[in-house]
Amino acid sequence: MKIVCIGGGPAGLYFALLMKQQDPRHEIAVVERNKPYDTFGWGVVFSDQTLGNLQAADAPSAAQILDAFNHWDDIEVHIRGHRIRSGGHGFCGIGRKRLLNILQARCEEVGVELVFETDVKSAAEYADADLVIASDGLNSRVRNEFADTFRPDVDVRRNRFVWLGTTRLFDAFTFDFQETPHGWFQAHAYRFDATHSTFIVETPEEVWAKAGLDRMEKEESIAFCEKLFAGVLQGHPLLSNAAHLRGSSQWIKFPRVVCEHWVHRLGGAGGTPVVLMGDAAHTAHFSIGSGTKLALEDAIELARTIGNSRGDLTAALEAYEAVRSIEVLKIQNAARNSTEWFEHVDRYVKLPPEQFAYSLLTRSQRISHENLRLRDQSYVEEYEDWIAQRSGLPGRSQVDAGVQRASCKHSIPPMLTPFTARGVTLKNRIVVSPMAQYSCTDGVPGDYHLVHLGARAMGGAGMVVAEMTCTSPDARITPGCPGLWSTAQRDAWKRIVDFVHANSEAKIAMQIGHAGAKGSTRVPWEGEDQPLAEGNWPLVSASPQQYLDGISDWSRAMTRADMDRVTADFVRATRYAAEAGFDWLELHCAHGYLLSSFISPLTNQRTDWYGGSLDNRLRYPLEVFAAIRAVWPKHLPISVRISAHDWVEGGITPDDAVEIARRFKAAGADLIDCSSGQVSKKQQPVYGRMYQTPFADRIRNEAGIATIAVGAISEADHVNSIIAAGRADLCAIARPHLANPAWTLLEAAKIGVTEVEWPKQYRSAKQQLERNLEREKQMAAQGGGLSALEQANRALGV
């Protein structure tokens, strides 16, 4: 095969050498515009895992790379005079020049032709080749040339950064954060050879401009950074080797590149394939150190698929694109979280330094609490101890000194620490999320609810939230919904509350709401959101609307008199909730129901005081909030559930949600329960694990109010990571609690925590469960990491 790689970075060189090594008959050239051994940049990092892949692909170059690597395990975070260090991260640093030199020399050794100082104008120059690789980097000319095929999407990010070097040798991957009158700057620094470290300085564009860096010459801006980071540089200079970049142009903005397709055929079907590789195909933010890894792994994969293809190049290219685009997407997702974290450092600097560092370490959401524990158990235990002490528990040191809780010798995971709002303390951070059961007659909760909520209260959660309970008969979603408009309903609720208090340590919350335009529908198992066959009641909402176009009944806009009546209903329900003995109240302002219909511009087209600006749209929900707060006991908290994102163009955005939270906070709300969607059928949510947690994170850390995270939080590890990083104060778990009322007890046992109170009647099950889990863990350790179930399945050939 005749192969040409346009661009002699890591991708082009590595692919060339792997193909030549695979079959010396291949005729391979790498065409590079720079001179030999001439490149800019400092070090790059790899994880230990990447090294394993290189070893398997080409042992001689891997050996040289390994030899040149500087290995370190620790990450150190410097913030406000604190230094927080954690270990076990396993990174290697190598100079970019050194890496390229190794690859160039190895290419020459195996017989790849290296053509330097040749700036390729068009891939069409190589139409006589069998395969052209577009490995021409971030600003790929080839990608632009065939943009119609590749369909690149380039998202230029908000921060400015400069890639510098220094002679200060860091013994850990160091993140240093410095405040200026204009905002925060951060440095990412790591050693990559015997004499130098990489030192990347980064800050949001507006901070950069306000600091005057947009007008400074290169030397001036380096002097600015030296002064700013003098503490960590310890007298060492900052160095630039980007001689071709002048003035402020050395400060770049990171472009996130995604391409819909990776293969173009010159001259149409059957023509020479031009294949994207490395940064030309995709980029991953430097803060997760994966750009070079991705480039090298692209090369490995394409060489592998061609080697296995028995001459079918088209199939090989399809397989390459399919496999690599998925792998790249995973890294890009993690990189996006990491990029956003560094773009919003100002959000996190308010956290205590210990939590700030933890938040940084887990920013990509790929490294969870348990991953961190595997890396550095003592760091995690000390941190858990710190969280426990902040939530009012004695630390391990105090425990060891015999002060209290003598049974708890190890640290307590964040999920199991208490949380206090006003006069109410939840024993842990798990909340059974409100879940409509549609199983009432005349709005009166019965035995079904006693068993349903009672079982979940006994299942270990800190609090159980009753389903949306409606403030009047015409406030119901379905005829099966519970209510709180009569004393009969109040007393029926009291029976449940009393049971929970008598038989568990859980608190119980009441969620009150009004269905608005989403009311008067059938129970879901008879047709979700479908209007009743008969007996429909009139609907009100902020503006006239039909939730399901052409199907739902039309609602009419509320008049002032309607508003007064509904506010009075909310107040009555609140009084009854207090009389029933509930510990906590939640106001339902989410999911397109009545109060939510005022907040979202998608459902509020009013032209009076209650429509238009966000201020106006919040006016009625805040009136209701003020009215219920006035009658709800002062020592008990109120949370407000909102849809923090409508997932529809023109609807509520997370930016709005922060503002909404600020207003409810000012009105006296204690927590914001951060749900999303269900406001419009046009919604396009992006689901994934913990997908709504970023809203809880933003609201907590920007609006400064406690939050409840909810949505696809399904294991203790998720909860521990969320609470420990300060992304939320509580985690509401819904569907997993339908599958298992004792979700908290099981999850605690799974992570090996035995100091959890079970209902006394169930204690024998606790011991058995813990024994079985321990045995399973031991068998997994003996069976090469397979669980007992997996081993059994293997044995059965399943």
Ligand X SMILES: Cc1cc2nc3c(=O)[nH]c(=O)nc-3n(C[C@H](O)[C@H](O)[C@H](O)COP(=O)(O)OP(=O)(O)OC[C@H]3O[C@@H](n4cnc5c(N)ncnc54)[C@H](O)[C@@H]3O)c2cc1C
User: In angstroms, what is the C-alpha Rg of the chain?
Assistant: 30
Residue of the chain from 58, 74, 76, 136 that contacts ligand X (CB under 6 A): 136
Give me the DSSP letters along 145-213: HTHHHH-EEEEEEEEEEEEEEES---SSEEEEEEEETTEEEEEEEEE-SSS-EEEEEEEEHHHHHHTTG
CA 9/CA 96 separation, integer angstroms: 9
Neighbours of 161 (CB within 10 A): 24
Which helix (H) or strand (E) segment is 724 a member of?
A: helix 716-724
Token pair, residue 464, equals 């159980």
Residue 468 binds ligand FMN, judged by CB under 6 A: yes
Q: Which residues contact 484 (CB under 8 A, 6 or more apart)?
A: 443, 469, 470, 471, 490, 493, 510, 512, 572, 573, 576, 577
Which region among 8-16, 53-61, 683-691, 709-717 touches ligand X (by CB under 6 A)? 8-16
Neighbours of 107 (CB within 10 A): 25
Window 244-283: residues binding ligand X (CB under 6 A) = 278-280
Residue 737 CB, nearest distance to ligand FMN (Å)? Answer: 8
State which residue, 8 or 651, has the beta carbon closest to ligand FMN: 651
Rounded distance between C-alpha atoms, residue 274 and residue 126, angstroms:
10
Which of residues 14 and 647 has its CB atom nearest to ligand FMN in the complex?
A: 647
Interface residue with ligand FMN, options 338, 520, 675, 693 (CB under 6 A)? 675
Q: Is 464 exposed, middle or buried (0-12, 13-18, 19+ CB in 10 A)?
A: buried
Nearer to ligand X by Cβ, of 33 and 494: the residue is 33
Binding residue for ligand FMN (CB under 6 A) from 450, 712, 746, 780? 712
With CB under 6 A as the rule, give the number of residues binding ligand X. 32
| Residues of this chain, 108-127, that bind ligand X according to CB under 6 A | 119-120
Looking at the Cβ atoms of 434 and 651, the one nearer to ligand FMN is 434
Q: Which is nearer to ligand X, 152 or 291 (CB)?
A: 291
Residue type, position 70, single letter:
N
Q: Which is nearer to ligand FMN, 51 or 699 (CB)?
A: 699
Tokens of 241: 């080797």
What is the secondary structure of 579-632 as a DSSP string? HHT-SEEEEEE-TTSHHHHHH-TTT----STTSSSHHHHHHHHHHHHHHHHHHS
Which 195-214 positions form the footprint of ligand X (CB under 6 A)?
200
- Single out the residue of 434, 459, 516, 601 in contact with ligand FMN (rule: CB under 6 A): 434
Q: Is 689 in the site for ligand FMN (CB under 6 A)?
A: no
By a kind-dependent CB cut-off of 5 to 8 A, residue 165 interacts, out of ligand X, ligand FMN, none, with none
Residue among 94 and 512 whose Cβ is closer to ligand FMN:
512
Which member of 72, 146, 150, 163 binds ligand X (CB under 6 A)? 163
Alpha-carbon distance 569 to 537, whole Å?
A: 17
Asked if 293 touches ligand X (CB under 6 A), the answer is yes
Burial (CB < 10 A; 0-12, 13-18, 19+), residue 310, is exposed
Stretch that binds ligand X, among 134-142, 456-464, 522-530, 752-760 (CB under 6 A): 134-142
Question: Smallest distance, Å, CB 117 to ligand X?
Answer: 9
Rule CB under 6 A: choose which of 295, 387, 416, 468 binds ligand X.
295
Catalytic residue (one of 593, 687, 691, 762): 593
Separation CA 621–CA 617 (nearest Å): 8
Please state, in angstroms and as integers, the Cα–Cα distance from residue 227 to each residue in 79, 242, 526, following that order. Answer: 16, 21, 69
Does 288 engage in binding with ligand X (CB under 6 A)? no
**Contacts (CB under 6 A) with ligand FMN, residues 623-662:** 641
Contact assessment for residue 144 and residue 6, using Cβ atoms and an 8 Å cutoff: no
If DSSP codes are grouped into helix, strand and coil, which group holds residue 785?
coil
Residue 348 is a catalytic residue: no
Binding ligand X (rule: CB under 6 A), the pick from 3, 4, 7, 233 is 7
Among 44, 393, 496, 706, binds ligand X (CB under 6 A): 44
Query: Which stretches of the chain bind ligand X, using CB under 6 A?
Result: 6-12, 31-34, 44-45, 119-120, 135-138, 141, 163, 200, 278-280, 286, 289-293, 295
Query: Which stretches of the chain bind ligand FMN, using CB under 6 A?
Result: 433-436, 467-468, 511, 588, 590, 641, 675, 710-713, 733-736
By annotation, the residues acting in catalysis are 593
